[in-house]
Structure formats: C-alpha cells, structure tokens
Amino acid sequence: MSKKYDQKPTNMTVHGWPVLLRAVIFGVAALVLYGQAPNSVSALASGDSVHLVRPLALKWPKTEAEASLLRSDRWLIEDLLREMFPDDGPFGTFYGLQEFRFVRLERNKFYLVAVIDLTSQGRFNNIKAISCVGQDCEVADAVSNGDVELDSQLLDVDNDGIWELVVRSNTFMSSMVISAGPQVYTYQLMSLRGRMWVDVSASHRKVFRDKIRPMMEADHAGLPEMVTEFESGLAEALGADSEDRREMFAHRLETAASLKAALSYSRLALAQVESGGTFDPLLRESEKWLQSAFEPVQRLGVRTMEAFEPPENVKKRVRTLDLSKLTSRSSERLSELLERSSKNSDPK
C-alpha cells in the first residue's frame, strides 16, 4: 500500500474488444508495456478507483470553458498523475506525460484523457481516462500502438458532445516479425460506458470510411513498396555465394511475406467493419497463409481461423489444403485447433 494514497480496487472488468482483435493478448501487452508479469498489472483494466490523500489542486471542469482553461495547467495534471501512479504504486509508475485533454466521454461527465509513459522507455501509448469527484478518482485504461495523437484519435462521431477514442493494435504477428521495424495495425472505435471501453465500430461505418481508412493509409504508407523491394531479393537469394548472404536474403523474403500478409489482414479487417459483411474474405486469405513457406504467415493463418471460424467448421476448411510446409510449431497449433473442432462436432 502506498503511503501517498489508499487504493480501492473494484470489480475488474474486461475491455470490450471486438472479434477483429480477439487474438491480441493483453497479458503479453502488459508484459511488454509495463515490464511486469500479467497478473501483477491486471488491476489496470477498466474499473479502477483511486482515493487521493491530498485534496485535488485543480477544479474539475463542468463546462467546455472550464475544460479549455485547464489546457494550460500541465503541471497540475502531472502532479495528479504522479500521485495516482507513484514509484511504489501497484498500478505502474508515471514517467511522463505526452499530451492531455479534458473532454466528455459520458453524458454530463468530463474526463481527463492523458497519454502517458509507464515504461521509463518513452513509450507514450498508455491512455488514461480519469474522472475525479473530491478525492476519489475513477480510471479507465486503454492502449494504442504507434504514435498516439489525441487530435486525430479523439472523435465526436455523433456530434453530441461525447467523444470516442480510436485505438490501434498490431496485427496478429507483425510485431513478432519486425519488432523494431514497420508495424501494421488494425483499428477500432471505442466508447466509454461505465468505466469500461466498449467497441462501437460496427455502428459507425462512415467514420471508418471517412476518418480511419485515411489514418490506416497514412500509417502504412511505403510498406507495399518495401514488400516489393524485399521480394526482389529472390533471384539474389538463389544465387548467393555464401551461407550468410543466403540467410540474409531468406530473412528479407520472410519479412516481405509477413508484411504482405499483415497488410492484407489489416485491409480486409477494415473492409469488414465498413461493409458489415462476413469474415469469409479473411478466412479465404487464411487458407493461403496456412500454405505459406514462412512460419509467421502460417501463424497468422491459424490464428485467423481460430478467431473467425466456428471450431466445427475448421476441419472442413483445411481438408483440401497443402499443409506440407507447416513448421512443427504451426502444425502443433493447428492440431490443437482441429482437436477443438472435433470435440465441437461430436454429437452430445
């Protein structure tokens, strides 16, 4: 227990992530972002409550004019965040503030939306939504990969004075393939409902067409050209005169294949939200990915089927595929999925 505040945990709730991102594992995200085991950061889920020992040094806004005046009081916001997330606190340590806004996320209720670093490594991708009454503060937590910019990611999509949040997440495998290189994202539109972020993407298809698709195109600019450049190494790889050069070109080809698959996944996922159609285009692509020679692409195929295909249908979908190139790890993961498929299809 911190000497600076009393922590009052509430019933934990899980973010309302849609099926499009069901495969994004929050435990892994917690380990990467906070440097702690997943169980030790589970309280960062939506639904946290913090009791401050000291009275608030700022007047919590009730009008747009009051919220606007607080834009210049950065030092007050930093002091509040230091008290809420101290060095010895159980919910991570506050290392820096990138930007903040006071906006309505629920009717007649202003929140401080702050983009902060909890890693000490300058990773400003943790987004806190905080509302305080007296010395009691509610906290809802979101994570968005890539460069977070509240000007473009906070949207009032209904023009009702209540703001929504666009978050980016890495595709199933792009971050595993190119940990320090270009990333490929999927997107969702989140609305805060009672201290829980809920996906409202399907209700705002026009927003995806008009706002989020341009964001995706900007985020992924140059990646198709990179794929083409890397793929051009095939002839050189075949004729390389040393093992080291052959390995280098093989890695370039794997990167190209992985980027191409991730970009396809991102585009198809966005198109599904825009159209409200089925997941069949994604599943047809997953059949191709399963037959790839590259393990990261194979894993994307397995996890796409795992996310979108009813287990009882998986066996039928893979029956005619050439799975001879599957690595042992990919084969093991697919076998586990097929085993669940068989159990689901067995008569009770």
What are the pLDDT digits (tens) for 137-167?
999 999 998 889 999 999 999 999 999 999 9
- Are 248 and 167 part of one and the same domain? no
Boundary residue ending a domain (190, 219, 248): 219
What are the pLDDT digits (tens) for 183-207?
889 999 999 998 889 999 989 999 9
- Give me the pLDDT at residue 313, please: 87
Any idea which residue has 């450049």 for tokens?
229
Alpha-carbon gap, residue 296 to 300, rounded angstroms: 6
Percent of the chain, pLDDT > 70? 78
Alpha-carbon gap, residue 334 to 340, rounded angstroms: 10
Alpha-carbon gap, residue 58 to 104, rounded angstroms: 17
What are the pLDDT digits (tens) for 20-42?
333 332 232 322 222 332 222 22
- Give me the pLDDT at residue 105, please: 97
- Are 113 and 242 part of one and the same domain? no
Question: What is residue 16's DSSP assignment?
Answer: B
48 beta partners: 139
Residue 330 domain boundaries: 223-345
- Are 116 and 261 part of one and the same domain? no
What SS3 state is found at 292? coil
- Give me the pLDDT at residue 258, please: 87
- Are 157 and 298 part of one and the same domain? no
pLDDT confidence band for 239 (50 / 70 / 90): low
Count of C-beta atoms within a 10 Å radius of residue 241: 7
Boundary residue ending a domain (219, 244, 260): 219
- Are 214 and 261 part of one and the same domain? no
Alpha-carbon gap, residue 174 to 228, rounded angstroms: 17
- Are 254 and 196 part of one and the same domain? no
Of 182, 178, 146, which is closest to residue 296 (Cα–Cα)?
A: 178
- Are 104 and 253 part of one and the same domain? no
Count of the separate structural domains present in the chain: 2
Q: Tokens standing for 91?
A: 């919910």
- Give me the pLDDT at residue 250, please: 77
- Are 178 and 258 part of one and the same domain? no
